[in-house]
Chains A and B, each alone.
Chain A
Amino acid sequence: MSSSFTDRLLGRVRLGGVLALAAPVLAVVFAGVVTSIILLLNGNQPFQTLGLLLDFSATPSIQVLILNTATTYYISALAVAIGFRMNLFNIGVDGQYRLAVLVAAAVGGAVTLPGPLHVGVIMLVAVLVGGLWASIAAVLKTARGVSEVISTIMLNAIATGFGAWLLTPGRLAVLNGNNVGTKPIGPSGHFPGIALVSGTQAKVFGMIIVAAVLGVAYHVVLNRTRFGFDLRATGRSETAAVASGINVKKMVLYTMILSGAVAGLVGLPQLLGASYSYSLDFPAGLGFTGIAIALMGRNNPIGIAVGALLWSFLDNSNDILDFNGIPKEIVIIMQGTIVLSVIIAYELVHRYRAVAEQRRVSRQLSTAAPTEPQGAAV
């Protein structure tokens, strides 16, 4: 066992660990350079802009905001990542969470239960609705061979229309003043916040703990359980999975539903920690943010956490830019560039690693073949 540990230390960790870290760092730097160029072209100082963002984010209330938004982003990215690990593209997280939070909010507003139970029921409803909505895409894929990419995109649009229909007075909504929304959830259904940041009254969403637990569960389930092994094996090679006795259709079904179930939780930090009601101004588009962050974090729970914080930092501290005459939308460009350069950087690192490892193996075994590996003329 000691030799394998050394191998890990000298072999994989050296190649995998440092390089895996190098990729996102380089990509962020590259995105910074691109953004800087855009800023310079418009007569703004990049470092001054960054300084503004950092200064602003040092404000305690903004820090709370960053943590709160990051919680939401984190759950969304986890939902996407579950699918990604077996090559399933759940682009439908967006529709899944919106429908889930709407129904959960309506149920939460309609019942009054003792504290934790109330919250539990709301979460359960959200998980069920999210999973159910995702199961449509899953069944279409397994039974009819419809690509989940297209079907989830279509289901997003359908969820929007269906949600709008549900969110009318007389169905799931009531009129609060002139705003149409679900009936507010009573205090027993609120998820208590945590005073994590000093110097502000604002509290961090209690759901941040749920998000952390989800992250740990994600890691454990995927890497330490049979189910996780089956899931990852299917993602790596469907044909090998079939030959090894994995029921691929069942895995598609389970994984998609699991992804949708987690997606169902995406809206809950906001619902249970701040708005207590679902209305038309509820945050939308979180599913797409989740895709971007899952890509950035390379489906790794810690990487996703870093990505979520970075994303949230950019999203929440950009308001200061407008006050200083810099269009705050520059951060969206930066985000887009980061995603694109991160995925390219990962791909390059992956290629480099594969070649390097092959060479390392053949070099270590070159006792049989004395010839040193040479660059083949390709």
Chain B
Amino acid sequence: MEEAAISTSTSSAPATEPAVELEGITKRFPGVVANRDIRLTVLRGHVHAIVGENGAGKSTLMKILYGMQRPDEGVIRVNGSPVSFRTPGDAIAAGIGMVHQHFMLADNLTVLENIILGSEPRKGGIGIDFAAARRKIKEISDAYGLGVSPDVLVEDLGVGARQRVEILKVLYRGARILILDEPTAVLVPQEVDELFDNLRGLVREGLTIIFISHKLDEVLRVADAITVIRRGTTVASVDPGDVTARRLAELMVGSELPSPETRESTVTDQVALAVRGLTVRAGDGRAVVEDVSFDIRKGEVLGIAGVEGNGQAELVEAIMGMRPAEGTITLDGADISAWATLRRREGGIGYIPEDRHRHGLLLGAPLWENRILGHQTRRPNVKGPWIDRAGARADTERIVREYDVRTPGIDVDAMALSGGNQQKLIVGREMSSEPVVLIASHPTRGVDVGAQAAIWDHLRAARARGLAVLLISADLDELIGLSDSLKVILRGRMVADVDPATVTPEQLGSAMTGATAEPADQLPAASDGPERLGSAAAEAGEEA
């Protein structure tokens, strides 16, 4: 365990007293320690960033600060006095507000209703004073330039506008300390810029902002102070002026970040999967994937880079036959465009879904039944119309062994396993049918570092055996390291081809945001907008 190196630095801004202090916060869950001896001091009027990898314990920490979880040990002080939050209501009363990563908004209620919920202005006892609410929302919206109109249904708003509603929601409650949990994860670059403008406006008014992120370039742009969390504990507090993205990345990942690099090319010239002119339309007829074409050869990993929500999920579902699409898809020479999902799977497409709980597993079923899922027409799971229990069970044992799924047995329900072990089971299952093509959607999202390395190893090994892989990931490090070729998707279109051997995360990041929607050959040249969305962690990994 590292010593917690805390050095509360004061920036050029006038030194003020602390708004929030955390001391020795520890939180245990059954089997794991989510937070351990967290120490943190946030000064009033600062944007204080908390950075760390996925699963480092940032979110748990914020839930503790917002009263959604109670710490097992430690002290929280707000404006100098110790507090103990039982519910979010207590935190709100203490002037703390939280903008959740997944918006806490009711789609079918208006903006106004969402904002005033829980602290409604009254009129004559029980009636809501809508006029007063509207006035106050307008006031706040104008004061901070949020541009929120109160009488629209939330479902009609875009992502950026929803986020501003969330911010207004906490300001409406008089919050002086705002927690923003991964606020940029769902935003496009322009929206990120707008958000940062909004945040600067808030800080000017004397508010304090705690900004949680793992995107270091963003953090460096907006933060007045940075605290790094690694494996559940605070490892450093630094001044953004004194630190480079690379140094920050090293602090964040420590030294054990496994490298996903695969440089020896195994690409053959046999096309395994060919996609031509694929277009997917949303319910309202808008194209969410537009005229996408690509080939994946045997032994090749094709990575798709893009900010989330630019059509990746729809592209994958169209290839899997889960979503109607125009265009042709050819698998190993056969036109599969009209095939149903099951036939495509039988034909040799393996699928690691983005959301394993919704699409990859039957959480309430034992592991061996999960082994059958998606392979319910193939040996060793079935014999004719019958389920071959012995065969499926034996093969599940094999997967558990070969893929190192940590479980007491194959009769345990899938929900009892940790995320990493669930994912290893899925990878093992999808590999065991000897697929021609593997669609891997965020294959290492939300899994621990050990499982991540194991999954990368399996992908590499399969690629060497001639598997074609379509890799979709938000982790640029993973993308650059694993892919033989890279394409950038933006607003449903493939906007650039990139050579993963030469591209830097910064360049990739700016291509993803559309800052340089140029032909591929221009990409490696320095672009005007470096460090937009590139994960500096990747840079560190690459240079290591």
- Do A and B touch (CB < 8 Å)? yes
Per a CB cutoff under 8 Å, which of A245, A354, A364, A365 touches B374? A245
Per a CB cutoff under 8 Å, which of B71, B359, B382, B410 touches A243? B359
Q: Contacts A1-B393, A237-B362, A361-B407; is A244 near B386 (CB within 8 Å)?
A: no
B342 close to A (CB within 8 Å): yes
Interface residues of A in 331-378 (CB under 8 A from B): 354, 357-366, 369, 371, 373-374, 376-378
**Residues of B within 8 Å of A, CB-based: how many?**
59
User: Across the interface, do A358 and B416 meet the contact criterion of CB distance under 8 Å?
Assistant: yes
Q: Contacts A229-B376, A366-B31; is A224 near B359 (CB within 8 Å)?
A: no
User: Across the interface, do A243 and B322 meet the contact criterion of CB distance under 8 Å?
Assistant: yes
The minimal Cβ–Cβ distance linking B228 to chain A, given in whole angstroms, is 22
Beyond the given pairs A243-B351, A357-B416, A360-B416, 11 more chain A to chain B contacts, judged by CB atoms under 8 angstroms and listed by A's residue number, are: A1-B397, A11-B408, A224-B387, A227-B385, A237-B358, A240-B360, A243-B341, A245-B343, A247-B340, A362-B31, A373-B30
Bound-complex Cα distance A358 to B422 (A): 13
User: Across the interface, do A225 and B387 meet the contact criterion of CB distance under 8 Å?
Assistant: yes
Which chain B positions have C-beta within 8 A of A243? Answer: 320, 322, 341, 351, 353, 359-360, 374
Q: What total count of A-B pairs have CB within 8 Å?
A: 151
Per a CB cutoff under 8 Å, which of B31, B340, B362, B375 touches A373? B31
Stretch at the interface among A2-10, A126-134, A165-173: A2-10
User: Across the interface, do A242 and B28 meet the contact criterion of CB distance under 8 Å?
Assistant: no
User: Across the interface, do A240 and B359 meet the contact criterion of CB distance under 8 Å?
Assistant: yes
Q: Contacts A225-B386, A245-B342, A354-B413; is A369 near B33 (CB within 8 Å)?
A: yes
User: Across the interface, do A245 and B345 meet the contact criterion of CB distance under 8 Å?
Assistant: yes
Q: Which chain B residues have a beta carbon within 8 Å of chain A's beta carbons?
A: 27-33, 69-72, 320-322, 340-346, 351, 353, 358-366, 369, 372-377, 382, 385-387, 389, 393-394, 397, 406-413, 415-418
**Which of A7, A230, A237 has the most chain B CB atoms inside 10 A of its CB?**
A237
Residue on A nearest B368 in the bound complex, by CB: A4
Which chain B positions have C-beta within 8 A of A228? Answer: 387
User: Across the interface, do A240 and B362 meet the contact criterion of CB distance under 8 Å?
Assistant: yes
Residue on A nearest B390 in the bound complex, by CB: A1
16 inter-chain pairs at a CB distance below 8 angstroms, sorted by A residue, are: A1-B394, A4-B393, A4-B409, A12-B412, A229-B387, A236-B365, A237-B362, A244-B345, A245-B340, A245-B374, A357-B416, A358-B30, A362-B418, A366-B31, A373-B28, A374-B30
Bound-complex Cα distance A247 to B382 (A): 18
User: Across the interface, do B413 and A357 meet the contact criterion of CB distance under 8 Å?
Assistant: yes
Which chain B positions have C-beta within 8 A of A179? Answer: none
Which chain B positions have C-beta within 8 A of A1? Answer: 393-394, 397
The minimal Cβ–Cβ distance linking A225 to chain B, given in whole angstroms, is 5
A239 close to B (CB within 8 Å): yes
Residue on A nearest B382 in the bound complex, by CB: A226
User: Across the interface, do B377 and A376 meet the contact criterion of CB distance under 8 Å?
Assistant: no
Q: Contacts A7-B409, A225-B385, A229-B387; is A371 near B362 (CB within 8 Å)?
A: no
Per a CB cutoff under 8 Å, which of A4, A244, A245, A361 touches B410? A4
Q: Contacts A11-B412, A237-B363, A357-B416; is A226 near B377 (CB within 8 Å)?
A: yes
The minimal Cβ–Cβ distance linking B363 to chain A, given in whole angstroms, is 7
Per a CB cutoff under 8 Å, which of A354, A357, A361, A369 touches B32? A369
A137 close to B (CB within 8 Å): no
A246 close to B (CB within 8 Å): yes
Bound-complex Cα distance A66 to B342 (A): 47
User: Across the interface, do B376 and A361 meet the contact criterion of CB distance under 8 Å?
Assistant: no
Q: Which 10 A-B pairs have the closest CB atoms?
A: A362-B31, A245-B342, A7-B409, A373-B30, A244-B374, A243-B359, A245-B341, A377-B70, A239-B358, A361-B416
Residue on A nearest B361 in the bound complex, by CB: A240
Bound-complex Cα distance A157 to B489 (A): 54
The minimal Cβ–Cβ distance linking B109 to chain A, given in whole angstroms, is 23
User: Across the interface, do B373 and A233 meet the contact criterion of CB distance under 8 Å?
Assistant: yes
User: Across the interface, do A230 and B376 meet the contact criterion of CB distance under 8 Å?
Assistant: yes
Residue on A nearest B355 in the bound complex, by CB: A239
The minimal Cβ–Cβ distance linking B116 to chain A, given in whole angstroms, is 28
**Residues of A within 8 Å of B, CB-based: how many?**
45
Which chain A positions have C-beta within 8 A of B359? Answer: 239-240, 242-243
Interface residues of A in 166-187 (CB under 8 A from B): none
Bound-complex Cα distance A232 to B70 (A): 38
A230-268 Cβ-contact flags toward B at 8 Å (1 or 0)? 101100110110111111000000000000000000000
Q: Contacts A229-B387, A373-B31; is A11 near B409 (CB within 8 Å)?
A: yes
The minimal Cβ–Cβ distance linking A278 to chain B, given in whole angstroms, is 36
Interface residues of A in 206-237 (CB under 8 A from B): 223-230, 232-233, 236-237
Bound-complex Cα distance A105 to B339 (A): 45
Residue on A nearest B71 in the bound complex, by CB: A377
Which chain B positions have C-beta within 8 A of A7? Answer: 408-412
Q: Contacts A237-B362, A240-B373; is A360 near B408 (CB within 8 Å)?
A: yes
Q: Contacts A245-B341, A245-B374, A247-B342; is A361 near B408 (CB within 8 Å)?
A: yes
Residue on B nearest A234 in the bound complex, by CB: B362
User: Across the interface, do A244 and B408 meet the contact criterion of CB distance under 8 Å?
Assistant: no
User: Across the interface, do A8 and B373 meet the contact criterion of CB distance under 8 Å?
Assistant: no
User: Across the interface, do B358 and A371 meet the contact criterion of CB distance under 8 Å?
Assistant: no
Bound-complex Cα distance A377 to B27 (A): 9
The minimal Cβ–Cβ distance linking B431 to chain A, given in whole angstroms, is 16
The minimal Cβ–Cβ distance linking B407 to chain A, given in whole angstroms, is 7
Bound-complex Cα distance A330 to B385 (A): 48
**Which of A227, A242, A361 has the most chain B CB atoms inside 10 A of its CB?**
A361
Bound-complex Cα distance A35 to B113 (A): 47
Which chain B positions have C-beta within 8 A of A232? Answer: 365
Bound-complex Cα distance A228 to B342 (A): 16
Bound-complex Cα distance A244 to B417 (A): 20
The minimal Cβ–Cβ distance linking B217 to chain A, given in whole angstroms, is 33
Which chain A positions have C-beta within 8 A of B386? Answer: 224-226
Which chain A positions have C-beta within 8 A of B322? Answer: 242-243
The minimal Cβ–Cβ distance linking B498 to chain A, given in whole angstroms, is 29
Bound-complex Cα distance A239 to B363 (A): 12
User: Across the interface, do B72 and A374 meet the contact criterion of CB distance under 8 Å?
Assistant: yes
Bound-complex Cα distance A161 to B90 (A): 59
Which chain B positions have C-beta within 8 A of A377? Answer: 69-72
The minimal Cβ–Cβ distance linking B429 to chain A, given in whole angstroms, is 10
Which chain A positions have C-beta within 8 A of B342? Answer: 244-247
Bound-complex Cα distance A226 to B378 (A): 10
The minimal Cβ–Cβ distance linking A347 to chain B, given in whole angstroms, is 13
**Which of A232, A240, A247, A369 has the most chain B CB atoms inside 10 A of its CB?**
A240
Bound-complex Cα distance A246 to B413 (A): 21
Which chain A positions have C-beta within 8 A of B69? Answer: 376-378
Bound-complex Cα distance A227 to B33 (A): 43
The minimal Cβ–Cβ distance linking A104 to chain B, given in whole angstroms, is 29
Per a CB cutoff under 8 Å, which of A224, A245, A364, A376 touches B344? A245
Which chain B positions have C-beta within 8 A of A246? Answer: 342, 376
